[in-house]
A and B are shown apart, each in its own frame.
Chain A
Amino acid sequence: MHRERLENAAFRAGYGALLVFMLLPLLVVVVTSFSASGRVAFPPDSYSLVWYADFFESTRWLDAFTNSIVIGVGTALLATVLGVLGAFGQELETDSVVGSVVAPVVLIPLLIPPVILGITLLLYFNEVGLRGSYASIILAHTLWATPLVYFVMRSVFSRFDWQQLDAAHDLGAGPVRSFVHVVLPNVKHGIFVGALLAFIISLQEFVMALFLSTPGTETIPVLAWTEIRQALDPMVSVVSTFLILISVGTIVVAAIATNLEWVSKQLS
């Protein structure tokens, strides 16, 4: 089968090229962070850790880093509470009119260009006087993170064995008690993964944050953007490398904490 072999070769070349396309930019970021010169070139002429040293001496970057973490944790907490309760309520009452409205409304913000969300929220937070606070960015990021938690939880709850709740009820547990002692332990992995997704979304989001941030609430991506537009130096690569490490680290922690099999089942 000559033709078959040719097709196979073309197929391999195709996904090989795609692999390079997907991974090369990330490799560029990490490698250029070790550049010794002030020019971002790939591969760099010589290597050093000077830009890392600079990062740890820059209060501006460290402040942005703190802002990103605070906003990320805030978003994760808020989105998880909203998403878990909402998905559980939805699962109890699948046919109600409100239920059928909630799912699309939760989803729609994901399909609206972040620029439009950014200007909408900028005008709104100006009106209500929240502009310039952590809360304004946390609320904006929660708009994006909640759908993810919500849909992770919908799929987790759909696999939950509801008869356990019957049993708890028969044994005399009230609704709150059975939720805390029967439902939560069963879905805690899902909640954990949802919360981490929300954290990562917030850590990376930049268009809404760009509109809403003020000098005191600049996140890492916002600061990176303003730096890139002024001049290209390897500092941005250093920051990017840290962001990649944090995100990957978060996923690894999630994988270890929940157990690998479960995570791979979620991904596939």
Chain B
Amino acid sequence: MSETTSLPQIPTSLDSLRESFAGQSSSTRALLLMAPLIAFELLVFVIPFLILLRISFAEPSSDLVYEPGTWSVEAYAGVIDNILAFDLFWSIVSYSFLLGVVVTLVTVVLALFYAYAIWRATGLLKTLLLFSVVLPLLTTLVIRTYAFTPLLSPSGTVNELLLSVGLLSEPIQFVPSTVGAVIGQVYIVLPYAVLAIYSVLATMDWHVVEAARDLGASRPRSVAEVVVPQAMPGIIVAAVISFAWSVGAYAAPGLLSENLTFALEVERLLLGGQRYPTAAALSVIMLVLMLVTISIMFAVLNRFGGDFDLA
């Protein structure tokens, strides 16, 4: 190991570590270290998903929840027919996606602003802003959602305040409604989105923005053309997280809205109707639709960031 003491070798000390830590069988040892994690992911994630897939292809049964050992595309056909006929499943899937898109748009815009404010703030204000993001994360989403009921209900705090200052003549029905569900869901995903974007901004050089300003860019323009493109990796993570969690949202629409989302329907099928194959098929279809949307989102946002880099 004498060569590791000479200066040029220092950057490659990880390589020498591989030798020193494990002799010649370093990859075997690394695999051995990863083995429990790999086994866990196989047993609790991969295999359960294969079982879900298998059950989605089983025949429904009247007395059992599904008929083991049977193969059938009945459940998929049922869900797809229902969607194509603009029936119940169509309204459920489209409402879930609508919620996902609206929440994602609102969240990304607010998160970008919030992360930018934290980035520019100093001292106590910075601590306070960060604290306000982290604190809700420490609370279960049941409670984060529940808190909006006394605030937004027709006789709630917000309505009473707006009525008393004369901005409203009669109370607005925020909950239960889609607006209430959007507000609740934005509140749930906003902290994650802010932290995702902030973590990228924190490594960014403020002087670049200053340079843009010195060259005559207005503040909005410097944000749009310098900050946003550089923050794009964080924005992509924020958008993907917001979208994935909002399409599959359960608590906020369940408590603050009266429309059925796919998450609520899956629960109803599973625990109420005992229709396992249909619940499984709906989940698989929804997951595929989501993954397709996320890939498109990824590609579009990536290109958006890339174009700005060239300019």
> Which of B49, B134, B250 is the one whose CB lies under 8 Å from A114?
B250
Q: Can you name 12 extra interface pairs (CB under 8 A) apart from A32-B150, A111-B294, A115-B262?
A: A28-B147, A86-B33, A86-B38, A92-B17, A92-B26, A111-B240, A116-B248, A119-B270, A163-B10, A166-B4, A207-B251, A244-B135
Complex-state Cα separation, A225 to B128, whole angstroms: 30
Query: Which among B4, B20, B255 has the highest number of chain A CB atoms within 10 Å?
Result: B20
Q: List 29 A-B contacts (CB under 8 A).
A: A15-B113, A19-B132, A22-B132, A26-B139, A29-B139, A29-B147, A40-B150, A42-B157, A82-B37, A89-B37, A102-B37, A112-B287, A113-B245, A113-B263, A115-B248, A116-B283, A120-B48, A120-B49, A142-B44, A146-B40, A163-B4, A165-B20, A175-B29, A206-B142, A211-B270, A224-B146, A225-B142, A240-B147, A244-B139
CB neighbours (8 Å) of A139 from chain B are: 44
Residue of A nearest to B135 (CB): A26
B interface secondary structure, majority:
helix
Complex-state Cα separation, A120 to B52, whole angstroms: 6
Residue of A nearest to B192 (CB): A110
Contacts A143-B44, A175-B21, A248-B138 hold; do A23 and B245 have CB atoms under 8 A apart?
A: no
Contact flags (1/0) for A226-253 with B, using CB distance below 8 Å? Answer: 0011001000100010011001100100
Interfacial residues of chain B within 128-155, with CB under 8 A of chain A in the complex? 128-130, 132-136, 138-144, 146-151, 155
User: Does A47 belong to the interface (CB within 8 Å)?
Assistant: no
Interfacial residues of chain A within 116-167, with CB under 8 A of chain B in the complex? 116, 119-124, 127, 139-140, 142-143, 146, 150, 162-163, 165-166
User: Does A93 belong to the interface (CB within 8 Å)?
Assistant: yes
CB neighbours (8 Å) of B165 from chain A are: none
Docked-complex contact A204 and B132, CB < 8 angstroms: no
Interfacial residues of chain A within 12-38, with CB under 8 A of chain B in the complex? 14-15, 18-19, 21-26, 28-29, 32
A interface secondary structure, majority:
helix
User: Does A169 belong to the interface (CB within 8 Å)?
Assistant: yes
Q: Give the interface of B toward A (CB within 8 A).
A: 1, 4, 10, 13-14, 16-18, 20-22, 26-27, 29-34, 36-38, 40-41, 44-49, 51-52, 55, 110, 113-114, 117, 128-130, 132-136, 138-144, 146-151, 155-157, 187, 190-191, 202, 219, 240-241, 244-245, 247-251, 255, 262-263, 266-267, 270-271, 276, 279-280, 283, 286-287, 290, 294
CB neighbours (8 Å) of B114 from chain A are: 15, 18
CB neighbours (8 Å) of B21 from chain A are: 92, 165, 169, 175, 178
User: Does A203 belong to the interface (CB within 8 Å)?
Assistant: yes
Docked-complex contact A90 and B34, CB < 8 angstroms: yes
Contacts A116-B283, A119-B266 hold; do A204 and B141 have CB atoms under 8 A apart?
A: yes
Docked-complex contact B270 and A122, CB < 8 angstroms: yes
CB neighbours (8 Å) of A93 from chain B are: 18, 26-27, 30-31
User: Does A73 belong to the interface (CB within 8 Å)?
Assistant: no
B222 CB, nearest partner CB in chain A, Å: 11
Residue of B nearest to A168 (CB): B20
Complex-state Cα separation, A42 to B158, whole angstroms: 10
Docked-complex contact A112 and B244, CB < 8 angstroms: yes
Complex-state Cα separation, A64 to B102, whole angstroms: 35
Residue of B nearest to A205 (CB): B140
> Which of A11, A115, A123 is the one whose CB lies under 8 Å from B280?
A123
Docked-complex contact A102 and B52, CB < 8 angstroms: no
Contacts A19-B129, A232-B149 hold; do A85 and B33 have CB atoms under 8 A apart?
A: yes
Complex-state Cα separation, A155 to B21, whole angstroms: 20
Complex-state Cα separation, A232 to B152, whole angstroms: 14
Complex-state Cα separation, A146 to B40, whole angstroms: 10
Q: Give the interface of A toward B (CB within 8 A).
A: 7, 11, 14-15, 18-19, 21-26, 28-29, 32, 40-43, 81-83, 85-86, 88-90, 92-93, 96, 98-99, 102, 105-106, 108-109, 111-116, 119-124, 127, 139-140, 142-143, 146, 150, 162-163, 165-166, 169-170, 175, 178, 200, 203-207, 211, 220-221, 224-225, 228-229, 232, 236, 240, 243-244, 247-248, 251, 267-268
Query: Which among A21, A142, A146, A251 has the highest number of chain B CB atoms within 10 Å?
Result: A21
Docked-complex contact A166 and B202, CB < 8 angstroms: no
Query: Which among A43, A120, A165, A248 has the highest number of chain B CB atoms within 10 Å?
Result: A120
Query: Which among B136, B142, B190 has the highest number of chain A CB atoms within 10 Å?
Result: B142
CB neighbours (8 Å) of A88 from chain B are: 33
CB neighbours (8 Å) of A90 from chain B are: 30, 34
Docked-complex contact A92 and B30, CB < 8 angstroms: yes
Docked-complex contact A89 and B240, CB < 8 angstroms: no
> Which of A26, A123, A248 is the one whose CB lies under 8 Å from B51?
A123
CB neighbours (8 Å) of B29 from chain A are: 89, 92, 175
Contacts A112-B287, A200-B138 hold; do A99 and B34 have CB atoms under 8 A apart?
A: yes
Residue of B nearest to A96 (CB): B27
CB neighbours (8 Å) of B190 from chain A are: 22
